[in-house]
Structure 1
Amino acid sequence: MLTVTAKVKLQSGKAEEFIEAVREMQTKVMQDPGAVLYTLQRSTNDPDEFLFYEQYEDEEAFAYHLSTDHLKALSERIDPLMVAPGEFGNWVPVL
């Protein structure tokens, strides 16, 4: 199992547009082979800060996700809404 996180900070006033774009993406990602979970969390301290929390069966499934047209389309749509590039992390279970 591979967990992937991405923390993003949006420009003020762009949250609803961002959420709608990710909502549309979620349906597509969950149809990808090996996709287990794809959620978006909002910070309780900053309404313009979000965390993608994703899980894939393995590295191959995540690599597939990275190659999809729907990920490219999402990036084109949300990158202009962000203050800076996201902070990414890949995680594997220990216990």
Structure 2
Amino acid sequence: MIVLHAVFPLDPATRDEALGLIEDLVEHSRKEDGMIDYRAATDVSDPNVVRFFEQYEDAAAFKSHSQTDHFQEFEERLPNLLAGEPEVLQFEVESATELEL
């Protein structure tokens, strides 16, 4: 499984535009083959920071996602919506166990 955690600092002046684009990206991405989970959320400490949590069955699913029209549109428009550099971490996970709280 491939897991991504991405952090995007949004420009407050373009926040609404960015959130609309992110909402569209999430909606389409969740329908992709090989997608386990795809979520975006604003940070509770800073509403101009959006965090993505993505889970893919394998590297092929992640590669396929990066070639979709909705991802390409997001990637093309992203630089004009940011207030700083994004941070993206990729994890290769062999197993995951759900914990009870």
Structure 1 residue ranges without an equivalent (≥5): none
Aligned AA (2:51): L
Q: TM-score, normalised by structure 2?
A: 0.82
Between the two proteins, the alignment pairs up a number of residues equal to 95
Structure 1's consecutive aligned runs of 4 or more residues displaced over 6 angstroms after TM superposition are none
Q: Which amino acid in 1 is paired with 2:80?
A: P
> Residue 18 of structure 1 aligns with which residue?
18
Identity %: 25
Superposed, which structure 2 residues align to 1:1-95 within 5 Å?
1-93=1-93
**Distance (whole Å) between structure 1 residues aligned to residue 15 and residue 76 of structure 2:** 16
Q: TM-score, normalised by structure 1?
A: 0.87
- 1:92 CA drift (Å): 2.9
In our comparison, the structure showing a higher alpha carbon Rg is 2
Q: Which moved further from structure 2: 51-60 or 82-91? A: 82-91
Post-superposition Cα deviations, 1:17-75, rounded to whole Å, max 9, x if no partner, equal 21111111112112221011111121111111111111100111001111122111112
**1:76 deviation in Å?**
2.0
Read off the aligned partner of 2:29 and give its amino acid letter: V
Secondary structure of the residue aligned to 1:52 is: strand
RMSD: 1.6
Residues 26 and 40 in structure 2, CA contact (< 8 A), matched pair in contact too: no
Contact 1:10 1:48 survives alignment (8 Å): yes
